[in-house]
Chains A and B, each alone.
Chain A
Amino acid sequence: DIQMTQSPSSVSASVGDRVTITCQASQGISSWLAWYQQKPGKAPKLLIYAASSLQSGVPSRFSGSGSGTDFTLTISSLQPEDFATYYCQQANSFPLTFGGGTKVEIK
């Protein structure tokens, strides 16, 4: 199975900050990576697919990059509604494993 390692596990940031979350795959997955945002009590929401493609309706302050084993999700200017937990998921091969999550908290 492909293991997905996210870092950091949590980050404290202020509104307007630039936030970067990384995800590392235990083996190469090309660009088969998705990012999700989850708020408490809600289902996850797809932000990015194919490593860098912005899902329809998602604000442009979210961006994704990377290929192979190393990936990044960047929020260019953190907004109040962005405080949530973020997960990466590899879509290269079954089982489609998730990273452990990164909680973005208010500083």
Chain B
Amino acid sequence: QVQLVQSGAEVKKPGASVKVSCKASGYTFTSYGISWVRQAPGQGLEWMGWISAYNGNTNYAQKLQGRVTMTTDTSTSTAYMELRSLRSDDTAVYYCARDLLPYDSSGYSHWGQGTLVTVSS
């Protein structure tokens, strides 16, 4: 069965960086895109960006441009999201999510369990 397993919770100081991993299993990794979505405490869902696991093409939310980098390692079927220059308002649960269909971002059929990133001095 399809599974996305994320790395564990992180506590970071303002200005630091965090890198969250998302290990996929149960499907052909390179056939589906992966998106990252975050949710601040008590708030709604915020789309952060998307990466093609096929060729590494990315598309990022404009507000995060310059601070976020999404990558994949096809040898281990793992996606990564790195966020730099962390601020307190980056405190959130970060989710990876897989596209519903191959080469088609019609929705996200599978999600990771979420990774809580806390930014605090």
In contact, B59 and A94 (Cβ under 8 angstroms):
yes
**Assuming A34-B106, A43-B112, A91-B106, is B50 touching A96 (CB within 8 A)?**
yes
Closest to A53 in B: B106
**Assuming A43-B112, A44-B111, is B44 touching A95 (CB within 8 A)?**
no
Closest to B99 in A: A91
In contact, A43 and B45 (Cβ under 8 angstroms):
no
Q: Is B68 on the interface with A (CB-CB < 8 A)?
A: no
Cα distance, A94 to B65, chains bound together (Å): 13
Cα distance, A93 to B47, chains bound together (Å): 12
Q: Is the interface of B mostly helix, strand, loop or mixed?
A: strand
Cα distance, A97 to B105, chains bound together (Å): 12
Cα distance, A32 to B106, chains bound together (Å): 7
Chain B: interface residue total (CB-CB under 8 A) = 23
Interface size range on A against B: 20 to 34
Closest to B45 in A: A98
Closest to B44 in A: A101
**Assuming A49-B100, A96-B50, is B108 touching A44 (CB within 8 A)?**
yes
In contact, B108 and A46 (Cβ under 8 angstroms):
yes
**Assuming A44-B45, A49-B100, is B62 touching A95 (CB within 8 A)?**
yes
Q: Is A23 on the interface with B (CB-CB < 8 A)?
A: no
In contact, B47 and A96 (Cβ under 8 angstroms):
yes
In contact, B106 and A43 (Cβ under 8 angstroms):
no
Residue numbers of B with Cβ under 8 A of A are 35, 37, 44-47, 49-50, 59, 61-62, 95, 97, 100, 105-109, 111-114
Residue numbers of A with Cβ under 8 A of B are 1, 32, 34, 36, 38, 43-46, 49-50, 55, 87, 89, 91, 94-101
